[in-house]
Amino acid sequence: MLPRDKVNFNSDVLDLIMYFASEEGINYFSRQEERILLPMASATILYLGGDVGKIPSPNLLSMVRGWTERLNESVERSLELNVKLMKPALVEALRDLLHVEWKNERRDIWWESGIHFRLMFVPTNLSGNFYFSHAEVVNIQNKIVGRLDADTLEHCKNIGLLMKDQLRIMPAPGVI
């Protein structure tokens, strides 16, 4: 189990990346774990100058054998090659968030990533899409941004902006 301050930091990093990927809370996107995880992993690898060729499309996961190992290896390699670019806490947070492992319980087998727990508590609209509530946007702008150093903020913003380009995003209700 992770210490509470590490869990909070990881959650702040994830929220900040998704905040920028959603154009500062304006847009929403699929709540399905793979539809957030894979674009976030691809954006992180691209940002670090790595090869995203081993990252499968969320539509093809069921047909790609060993995708979890390839994803973990690609993320890990990109982080290791750029460990001096980011502060150790951010490297560790990205490693934790993007790591995928298989779970097996009572004959059920599924995969789970470091973003799984956070996605259980995000608001969804009637279509099951993820969005930030107004209160969450204000919290990100007023609290999370103030807690993180400028370097970490910049890295999260850049990853989020790259992630935005890979997501299927929709304007939030009432936004034209």
Over residues 123-176, the pLDDT tens digits come to 666 667 778 888 889 999 999 988 899 999 999 999 999 999 877 654 444 443
Residue 57 lies in a domain: yes
pLDDT at 4: 67
Domain count of the fold of the chain: 1
Residue 56 lies in a domain: yes
Residue 176 lies in a domain: no
Say if CB 138 and CB 73 are below 8 A apart.
Answer: no
Structural domain span for residue 65: 4-171
Residue 11 lies in a domain: yes
Residue 94 lies in a domain: yes
Lowest mean pLDDT among 44-58, 71-85, 110-124: 110-124
Lowest mean pLDDT among 5-19, 50-64, 122-136, 147-161: 50-64
- For residue 165, the one-letter residue type is D
The reported pTM is 0.84
Q: What angle do CA 27, 33, 35 make, to 5 degrees?
A: 55
CB atoms closer than 10 angstroms to residue 71: 24
Residue 108 lies in a domain: yes
Question: H helices of the chain, where?
Answer: 4-21, 33-47, 67-81, 88-98, 116-119, 134-139, 145-147, 150-166
pLDDT at 32: 81
Q: Cα(156)–Cα(150) distance, rounded to whole angstroms?
A: 10
Say if CB 93 and CB 7 are below 8 A apart.
Answer: no
Residue 52 lies in a domain: yes
Per-residue pLDDT of 112-124, as tens digits, reads 788 877 776 666 6
- Within 8 A by CB and 6+ apart from 92, the residues are 6
More confident call, 34 vs 118: 34
pLDDT at 168: 60
Residue 61 lies in a domain: yes
CB atoms closer than 10 angstroms to residue 11: 17
Instruction: Tell me which residue of 14, 26, 1 sits closest to 160, measured CA to CA.
Output: 14
The rounded mean pLDDT for the chain is 82
Rounded CA Rg of the chain: 16
Per-residue pLDDT of 86-112, as tens digits, reads 999 999 999 999 998 867 777 777 677
